[in-house]
């Protein structure tokens, strides 16, 4: 072999070595704890099973759940309902990565028909898992999709997700009559008209007087002759005799009672007992679920995870992270150092009953492993910087168990990457 070819082979081998090292660095996993179920159970065993009064909390839960059916109109003034129209003053990109034009926004705003706000009031129920939109269109609204942390999955036209069987009240319809502006027990916004049916007092009485069961399995199918929906943990089903109630629409889009069968391992009478075993098995249903901003693609974000987790036990939580801090006793930590924050959580946090809050994000504290506080959260990414000081995102994109400093060992982690630095306080439920 000539020296020329020997040199070429040496260069190729060296290049492959550097490529392999570089690839290895890029695919390192963040500080995710692959806790086994028995380890989670050990942490759960440290919790007082009587930490909160389940009967009292469940009564409060259903009072709020059925509140839209007790109202005569939507509870907030028109100017609050119209908050989403302020996006016309921002640079918003649509599904084709083109800026939304003034003409596009004018068309959407005209279709909102807010002149009729609270003038066509009807009570209704969701027929399926239903996206709640900020303005009445399925078009997404992204900030600059070329920048890290913007674009997919952050569709700012996605407000939240209603589960099937959710009571709502309707203010009015859009001008094209394809959308209804609604309020549920936790969110208001636009839903597609074919995703709801209108209820009368007979339907409401039949639905409300039954025993209530709640789903404890994630994304199992239900059928009413044909497929109806994939059911999420936290979905409410009234039970009558041996069947479970769901609504279906008649030819006039009025809701009628329909019955389905569910397996005993899919639902439990609400509330599920707040025991160590139940805390563990319910948590397992959420782990590794893909991140879903505002419930996008039938998935969850951080606050819908905590909301649905506690609903099974009869504990009502508000929908967004900031609002959830008032669902218990809030303890401020904003002026503490990183180590002081860890110690504060270890000393004051109640595993499986403590929310850890930072602006725009919420986590569930579950205990201590290897002297590190552990949290469960559905998280999209961690901010990082490359060797050129250019910001990028380390994507986690799922519900997982981490320390309070996820991705700390990954190249590119900086002081500003540290979630713990931004933790403001905890809420004891």
Residue 132 has pLDDT above 90, yes or no: yes
Give CA–CA dist 36/50, Å, rounded.
25
Give CA–CA dist 284/290, Å, rounded.
14
**What pLDDT, on the 0 to 100 scale, is given for residue 210?**
84
Give CA–CA dist 156/142, Å, rounded.
6
Which positions ≥6 away from 330 have C-beta within 8 Å?
A: 357, 425, 426, 427
Quick one: pLDDT band at residue 23, thresholds 50, 70, 90? very low
In our burial notation (b when 16+ CB lie closer than 10 A, e otherwise), range 363-379 reads: bbbbbbbeebbbbbbbb
**Proportion of the chain in helix, strand, coil states, percent, rounded to 5:** 30, 30, 40
Instruction: Give residue limits of the domains in the chain.
Output: 28-52+274-428, 55-269
Q: How far is CA 239 from the centre of its chain?
A: 26
**What pLDDT, on the 0 to 100 scale, is given for residue 48?**
87
**What pLDDT, on the 0 to 100 scale, is given for residue 64?**
98
Query: Residue 298's CB: how many other CB atoms inside 10 A?
Result: 17
Average pLDDT, the chain: 92
Lowest mean pLDDT among 7-11, 44-48, 258-262, 372-376: 7-11
CA gyration radius, the chain: 24
Rounded to the nearest 5 degrees, what angle is found at the Cα of 304, between the Cα atoms of 358 and 255?
150
Which positions ≥6 away from 342 have C-beta within 8 Å?
A: 372, 373, 404, 420
> Averaged over 159-170, what is the pLDDT?
98
For residues 401 and 14, which has the higher predicted lDDT (pLDDT)?
A: 401
**What pLDDT, on the 0 to 100 scale, is given for residue 14?**
35
Give CA–CA dist 366/374, Å, rounded.
6
Give CA–CA dist 276/429, Å, rounded.
16
Give strand ranges (E) for 53-200. Answer: 122-126, 130-133, 158-162, 167-173, 179-183, 188-192, 196-198
Residue 6 has pLDDT above 50, yes or no: no
Give CA–CA dist 341/267, Å, rounded.
38
> Averaged over 45-74, what is the pLDDT?
95
Quick one: pLDDT band at residue 10, thresholds 50, 70, 90? very low
Quick one: pLDDT band at residue 22, thresholds 50, 70, 90? very low
**What pLDDT, on the 0 to 100 scale, is given for residue 39?**
84
Quick one: which of 82, 88, 86, 83 has its CA closest to 105? 88
Residue 173 has pLDDT above 90, yes or no: yes
Give CA–CA dist 355/141, Å, rounded.
30
Residue 335 has pLDDT above 50, yes or no: yes
Contact call for residues 156 and 143 (beta carbons, < 8 A): yes
Quick one: which of 33, 52, 29 has its CA closest to 367? 33
Give CA–CA dist 199/197, Å, rounded.
7
Residue 7 has pLDDT above 60, yes or no: no
CATH 3.30.470.20 fits 28-52+274-428, yes or no: no
**What pLDDT, on the 0 to 100 scale, is given for residue 36?**
65
Structure tokens given for 143: 């900030």
Query: Residue 360's CB: how many other CB atoms inside 10 A?
Result: 12
Give CA–CA dist 425/334, Å, rounded.
6
Give CA–CA dist 333/376, Å, rounded.
19
> Averaged over 293-299, what is the pLDDT?
98
First to last CA, the chain: 74
**What pLDDT, on the 0 to 100 scale, is given for residue 35?**
60
Give CA–CA dist 95/4, Å, rounded.
52
**What pLDDT, on the 0 to 100 scale, is given for residue 73?**
98
Give CA–CA dist 413/340, Å, rounded.
21
**What pLDDT, on the 0 to 100 scale, is given for residue 3?**
44
Quick one: which of 390, 389, 376 has its CA closest to 43? 376
**What pLDDT, on the 0 to 100 scale, is given for residue 2?**
45
- pLDDT digit string, tens, across residues 150-162: 999 999 999 999 9
- pLDDT digit string, tens, across residues 32-42: 565 666 789 89
Which positions ≥6 away from 78 have C-beta within 8 Å?
A: 114, 117, 118
Lowest mean pLDDT among 6-10, 123-127, 205-209, 360-364: 6-10
Give CA–CA dist 227/233, Å, rounded.
18
- pLDDT digit string, tens, across residues 174-233: 999 999 999 999 999 999 999 999 999 999 999 999 899 999 999 999 999 999 999 999
Give CA–CA dist 217/61, Å, rounded.
20
Q: Is-cis flag, bond preceding 316, omega within 30?
A: no
> Averaged over 330-341, what is the pLDDT?
98
**What pLDDT, on the 0 to 100 scale, is given for residue 254?**
98
**What pLDDT, on the 0 to 100 scale, is given for residue 32?**
59
Partner residues linked to 212 by β-bridges = 238
């Amino acid at each position: 072999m000539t020296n020329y070819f020997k040199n070429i082979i040496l260069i190729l081998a060296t290049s492959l070595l550097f490529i392999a090292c570089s690839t290895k660095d890029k695919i390192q996993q963040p500080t995710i704890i692959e806790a086994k179920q028995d380890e989670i159970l050990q942490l759960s065993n440290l919790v007082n099973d009587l930490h909160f009064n389940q009967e009292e909390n469940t009564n409060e839960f259903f009072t709020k759940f059925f509140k839209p059916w007790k109202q005569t109109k939507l509870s907030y003034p028109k100017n609050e309902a119209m908050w989403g129209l302020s996006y016309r003053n921002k640079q918003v990109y649509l599904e084709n990565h083109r800026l939304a034009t003034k003409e596009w926004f004018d068309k959407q705003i005209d279709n909102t028909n807010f002149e009729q706000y609270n003038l066509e009031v009807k009570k209704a129920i969701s027929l399926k898992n239903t996206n709640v939109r900020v303005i009445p269109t399925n078009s997404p609204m992204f900030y600059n999709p070329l920048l890290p942390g913007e674009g997919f999955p952050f569709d700012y036209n996605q407000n939240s997700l209603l589960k099937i069987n959710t009571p709502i009240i309707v203010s009015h319809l859009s001008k094209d009559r394809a959308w209804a502006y609604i309020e549920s027990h936790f969110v208001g916004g636009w839903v597609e008209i074919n995703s709801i049916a209108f209820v009368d007092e007979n339907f409401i009485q039949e639905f409300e007087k039954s025993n209530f069961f709640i789903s404890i399995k994630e994304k199992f199918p239900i059928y009413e002759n044909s497929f109806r929906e994939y059911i999420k943990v936290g979905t409410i089903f009234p039970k009558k005799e041996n069947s479970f109630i769901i609504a279906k629409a008649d030819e006039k889009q009025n809701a009628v009672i329909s019955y389905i069968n569910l397996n005993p391992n899919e639902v439990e009478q609400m509330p599920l007992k707040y025991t160590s075993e139940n805390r563990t098995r319910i948590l397992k249903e959420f782990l590794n679920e893909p991140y879903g901003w505002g419930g996008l693609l039938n998935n969850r974000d951080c606050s819908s995870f905590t909301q649905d987790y506690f609903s099974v036990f009869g504990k009502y939580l508000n929908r967004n992270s900031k609002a959830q801090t008032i669902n218990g006793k809030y303890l401020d930590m904003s002026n503490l150092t990183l180590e002081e924050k860890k110690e504060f959580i270890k000393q004051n946090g109640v595993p499986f009953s403590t929310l850890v809050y930072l602006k725009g994000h919420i986590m569930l504290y579950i205990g201590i492993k290897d002297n590190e506080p552990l949290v469960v959260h559905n998280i999209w990414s961690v901010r990082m910087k490359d060797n050129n000081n250019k910001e990028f995102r380390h994507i986690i994109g799922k519900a997982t168990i981490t320390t309070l400093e996820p991705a700390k060992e990954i190249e590119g982690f900086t002081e500003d990457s540290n979630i713990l630095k931004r933790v403001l306080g905890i809420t004891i439920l």
